[in-house]
Structure 1
């Protein structure tokens, strides 16, 4: 059975966990995924201050090295998912989740007492490791209960709620800096982790029956990962997602520099960032309403073409007329909104044929997309030269590369409703 057939067979979905309304289930999954977003976005206004306070500036390093505060966390978030996935398929969803949340809180406190830039990076890396466990569990729980278009629709609702975090997180970070030193940001991260620990402890039941749990033997684990790689649709959309989402990481890491140095909007950076995140949130909500009628492929393929066109126009406009915020912001917001039509659909397409190994599949997808996108994003972010051209041109290249992968994956057939 190929991916599309699996989607038809598994088109129906189960209700939320017993005793829980759908709105609460959406909020819990969004809250777990927000652990990752808030750990990145809340500190964007503080990157320069953290770099100075921990000695990076005194070392005479390249100013772009402050982006390592973001990428250390993202790199920690990537590879460990390959370990968390089989663990959640073997021991269930709840126990690994609580270990991950406890570790997330502990690493936030270690960031507070870090005495050097490199010690902070180490703690951030480990915080990413534990955050990856929570994200793996959240995705696996959703796949335990949903499939196909229903999963894409549910994940779009999750992402709509989740996107509140990047909308408000930079502003929260800025507010913290008004009343406290940068260490206060990590205290807030620890508090968020504690809230999610308590909420899931009392309200999120186990979604993986003992009879459905997988062996943790190396042979079984490797066989599960080989199944992911050999499933054409799953592997293709993992790679395509990793490529195009490199754009997302590149912008997040360099966004402060773009708005402060290129457009001289330092004092209002949080508002511009919130506007772009709001476009993405609206796109996710629209996808939740459209996907069950139009299909994951049709929506995501249209969105990818729109992303390529909008970022190409932005690059041409900048090269022709120079930097102009009135041109940059709307075109960039359109491109960013496309992620809302790609993210949950690419994820659902990749996970659709792999319901029996949802934890491992979630881990493989998270690892592939995070590692590919973070490395690419780090490379593009490091090219920042005081203009937006390296950023927007990098977006065009990644969009085209993602499209080529999808063309191969779908054997040249695009815009299918299935």
Structure 2
């Protein structure tokens, strides 16, 4: 694929895959304002967070198989339209419960972009090119979680929380226009799957019985959950326990995110020269080393000089884990890439959502729970990889890159 086309697809598909962090991050600074404006308690407003996360997870289970049956383009466009309209409706929400219901719909629509973007990449690329393109997407996926809260906070200086949702609607509309005019159908009719519920369940069952797929998917999800635990607990640990200012915390968060992006691009340079499975093993090893160091620094009270490098290693290693685990998991499931992509996404959201409350289980004045959770998850990722992902995958992942589809 020519470089201009590669850049075009990276921007469009990267934007689609960023619906999750955009929808969550831009709106976080507005939570107090929403609570006051809608005369709702903190728990009522936070219900909209749970609703959006639920929609993002469940929507992938629906949209992934639909894209295997009807092609990528139609479900994707329907999902993005739903996302844009739901975002606009959120701006008009009259109550906290109405906002939660609309956030669920917004998540369902955004899930189409996340899950189908990965499937489209699998349609367009194979082998080394597949892992390289997922590394390219790390540019977007690494930067958006950092910029989203910053943009949301700046928007609140010039508009209300409702304006944040209007902005999300505009982003969805822009991506819709880009997809309509620049993203063709990538799944030919002859490669589409039957669309019945029994067939969909059989497809998911087959994926769950595939030990190699499960090994790659679970190890990536556990490593991702370790990073999610860091995201959930770092603001309390770094500001309340270690007394960093908001500006200092933002700097630490930004440096760690730069680490993800940098390692993602290093991975893109190494893929094709080094086996993708080996790169994944290195990434998981770095993640585990960082996780153990996070646990040790928090349990022994070693302070920021030990904690900050440990967090950086834990987070930056995702730049190696995500592109290689995704490419390896999808490489053997070309015909059912939508369903396979759905399971990848759901496992990440499910495990991350389940463990994130554990980070604050002992209150905001101790960092030990975060250290325990991050360490346990990163070690579990290595154990799952070593146990399940033994069988060699397609040789094409070590061949010179080529385009398929």
CA distance in 2, matches of 1:41, 1:404: 31
Q: Is 1:291 paired with 2:271?
A: yes
Summarize the Cα distance change of 1:261–1:298 in structure 2 as closer, same or farther, 3 Å threshold: same
Determine whether 1:165 maps to 2:144. Answer: yes
Take 2:53 and 2:174, find their aligned partners in 1: how far apart are those partners? 22
CA spacing shift, 1:302–1:144, aligned 2, 3 Å: same
CA contact (8 A) 1:46 1:177 kept: yes
Please tell me whether residue 27 in structure 1 is matched to residue 11 in structure 2: yes
TM-aligned CA deviation for residue 375 of structure 1: 2.0
Deviations 1:134-168 (A, max 9, x none): 11211111111212332111101111233222232
| 1:395-410 → structure 2 map (5 Å cutoff) | 395-410=374-389
Are residue 301 (structure 1) and residue 301 (structure 2) matched? Answer: no
Query: Are 1:386 and 2:365 matched, yes or no?
Result: yes
Question: Over residues 62-114 of structure 1, what are the superposed CA-to-partner deviations in whole Å (9 max), with x where a residue is unaligned?
Answer: xxx87655443222211221211221111111111111111111221232233
Q: For each residue in 1:352-401, what CA deviation from the matched residue of structure 2 results, as whole angstroms up to 9, or x when unmatched?
A: 11011111221222222322222223443555533332112201001111
Distance 1:180 1:359 in 2: 38
Candidates 334, 344, 347, aligned match of 1:355: 334
Partner of 1:319: 299
Secondary structure at 1:216 match in 2: coil
Are 2:118 and 1:149 aligned? no
CA contact (8 A) 1:249 1:378 kept: no
TM-score, normalised relative to structure 2: 0.88
SS of aligned partner of 1:160:
helix
Question: In structure 1, the residue corresponding to 2:294 is in which secondary structure?
Answer: helix
Residue matched to 2:196: 217
- Alignment RMSD, CA only? 2.6
For residue 407 of structure 1, give the secondary structure of its aligned residue in structure 2. helix
> 3-state SS of the aligned residue for 1:355?
coil
Determine whether 1:40 maps to 2:19. no
Alignment of 1:2-17 (within 5 A): 15=1
- Whether the aligned pair in 1 keeps the contact of 2:299 and 2:371 (CA below 8 Å) is no
Could you state the TM-score of these two structures normalised by the residue count of structure 1? 0.86
Question: What is the alpha-carbon distance in structure 1 between the residues aligned to residue 316 and residue 363 of structure 2?
Answer: 23
SS of equivalent to 1:80:
helix
Matches of 1:321 and 1:366 in 2, distance apart? 35
Alignment of 1:5-404 (within 5 A): 15=1, 21-57=5-41, 69-262=48-241, 263-321=243-301, 323-324=303-304, 326-381=305-360, 384-404=363-383
Do the aligned partners of residues 43 and 402 (structure 1) sit closer, same or farther apart at CA in structure 2, a change above 3 Å counting? same
The 1:299/1:47 distance shift into structure 2, 3 A limit, reads farther
Please state how far the C-alpha of 1:124 moved relative to its aligned partner.
Answer: 2.0
Q: 1:307 to 1:366 in 2, by over 3 A?
A: same
Shift of the 33–412 alpha-carbon distance from structure 1 to 2, 3 Å rule, reads closer
Pair 97,393 (structure 1): closer, same or farther in 2 beyond 3 Å: same
Structure 2 unaligned regions, length at least 5 = 399-405
Does structure 2 conserve the Cα–Cα contact (< 8 Å) formed by 1:85 and 1:363? Answer: yes
Q: Distance in 1 between matches of 2:30 and 2:244?
A: 17
**TM-fit CA distance, 1:312:** 1.9
Runs of 4+ in 1 over 6 A off after TM superposition: none
TM-superposed CA distance for 1:261, in Å, is 3.0
Where in structure 1 are there 5+ consecutive unaligned residues?
A: 1-14
Distance in 2 (alpha carbons) for counterparts of 1:256 and 1:316 = 19
Q: How has the CA–CA distance of structure 1 residues 33 and 230 changed in structure 2, closer, same or farther, with 3 Å as cutoff?
A: same
Closer/same/farther in 2, CA of residues 124 and 270 from structure 1, 3 Å limit: farther
